[in-house]
């Protein structure tokens, strides 16, 4: 079968797979918790406030490859083990792009072993973030399609930058079906009716429309995104941790339990889907539309 390759994407492979060296500029009261010297995330913990920041740091678009997922998981593990860490703000080191979703290079003609590992890592990161004991806020400082939107939806609160940025689960536009746990996370946030439309049509929302449907909680000028997230975090941290955490567990528990029961089945289904030639054909077509910039928001 002839596959349609996007030359710009193919050119981007070496860059996408290159390990990005994080540059750490630490304030006096902040400690570096990055996963390793060469990491695709920058992690700081402020000892005074107990609030950590995880910055996705995989230019140009923070697409989620195996390494980025692994680094997020290691960072979260470390932070959650720190008793004095109570909150986490998830953002991007590249203003204009929060996260472009799953890395196409992990999906396009993958090796099955690597693809399984990749999908299990994504599942693990989702499970950790969705069930995190920390108060979590997404500071969405740019585009946030598909897997990027999913990451932000795992947080307790979302602040997004004003501008021409898009957010949503656009999987159907790629000829893909958002897995049930993507769908559940979306439905839990915006309700069943809106999620039905959003998911079937693969809607990418403008900031204003995302605010209207409740996909985000605040829309602010780009330079105010972090500050707004930090102020909002104080509200969440005024609540006694145990009460807030148990409430979160009760609210999210059923979704997490359903996920755990079907986690292995989900991997098998995804593998069947991604190794199928029709899927790869649709993906190739989508990669070409990406090249010609045909994505638009509602």
Residues assigned a catalytic role: 102, 147, 170-171
Q: What is the spatial distance between Cα 178 and Cα 12, in angstroms, rounded to a whole number?
A: 25
Q: Give 44 or 170: the residue with its C-beta nearer to ligand LUC3G6IP.
A: 170
Q: What is the spatial distance between Cα 125 and Cα 121, in angstroms, rounded to a whole number?
A: 6
Pure H helices in 131-275: 147-153, 180-190, 192-201, 207-213, 225-237, 241-274
Which is nearest to 135 in space by CA: 44, 228, 214, 241? Answer: 241
Which is nearest to 54 in space by CA: 15, 99, 93, 102? Answer: 93
Torsion of CA 76, 77, 79, 84, to 10 degrees: 140
Q: Give 102 or 233: the residue with its C-beta nearer to ligand LUC3G6IP.
A: 102
Applying the rule CB under 6 A, the residues between 233 and 252 that interact with ligand LUC3G6IP are none
User: How many residues does the structure list for the chain?
Assistant: 298
Applying the rule CB under 6 A, the residues between 135 and 164 that interact with ligand LUC3G6IP are 143, 145-147
Binding mask 164-183 for ligand LUC3G6IP (x = CB under 6 A): ------xx--x-x-xx----
End-to-end CA distance of the chain: 35
Q: Give 119 or 236: the residue with its C-beta nearer to ligand LUC3G6IP.
A: 119
Q: Of the candidates 8, 38, 193, 197, which one interacts with ligand LUC3G6IP according to CB under 6 A?
A: 8
SS3 category, 124: helix
Binding mask 61-100 for ligand LUC3G6IP (x = CB under 6 A): x-x---------------------------------x--x
Q: Give 157 or 181: the residue with its C-beta nearer to ligand LUC3G6IP.
A: 181
Tokens at 171, concatenated: 């999987």
Q: Give 87 or 202: the residue with its C-beta nearer to ligand LUC3G6IP.
A: 202
**Binding footprint of ligand LUC3G6IP on the chain (CB under 6 A):** 8-9, 11-12, 16, 60-61, 63, 97, 100-107, 110, 115, 118-119, 143, 145-147, 170-171, 174, 176, 178-179, 270, 273-274, 290, 295
């Amino acid at each position: 079968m002839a596959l349609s390759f996007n030359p710009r994407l193919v050119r981007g492979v070496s860059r996408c797979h290159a390990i990005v060296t994080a540059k750490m500029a630490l304030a006096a009261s902040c400690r570096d918790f990055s996963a390793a010297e060469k990491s695709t995330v920058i992690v700081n913990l402020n000892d005074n406030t107990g609030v950590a920041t995880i910055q996705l740091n995989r230019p140009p678009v923070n697409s989620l490859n195996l390494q980025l997922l692994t680094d997020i998981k290691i960072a979260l593990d470390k932070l959650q083990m720190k008793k004095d860490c109570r909150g986490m703000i998830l953002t991007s080191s590249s203003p204009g792009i929060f996260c472009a979703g799953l890395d196409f290079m992990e999906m396009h003609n993958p090796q099955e072993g690597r693809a399984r590992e990749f999908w299990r890592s994504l599942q693990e990161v989702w499970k950790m973030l969705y069930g995190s004991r920390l108060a979590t806020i997404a500071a969405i400082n740019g585009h946030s399609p598909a897997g990027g939107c999913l990451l932000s939806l795992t947080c307790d609160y979302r602040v997004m930058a004003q501008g021409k940025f898009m957010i949503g689960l656009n999987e159907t536009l790629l000829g893909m079906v958002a897995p049930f746990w993507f769908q559940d996370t979306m439905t839990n946030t915006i309700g069943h009716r809106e999620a039905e439309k959003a998911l079937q049509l693969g809607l990418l929302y403008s900031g204003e429309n995302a605010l209207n449907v409740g996909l985000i909680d605040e829309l602010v000028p780009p330079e105010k995104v972090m500050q707004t997230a930090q102020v909002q975090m104080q509200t969440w941290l005024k609540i006694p941790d145990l009460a807030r955490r148990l409430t979160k567990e009760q609210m999210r528990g059923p979704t997490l339990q359903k996920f755990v029961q079907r986690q292995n089945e989900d991997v098998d289904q995804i593998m069947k889907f991604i190794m199928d030639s029709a899927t790869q054909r649709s993906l190739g077509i989508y990669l070409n539309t990406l090249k010609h910039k045909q994505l638009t928001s509602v």
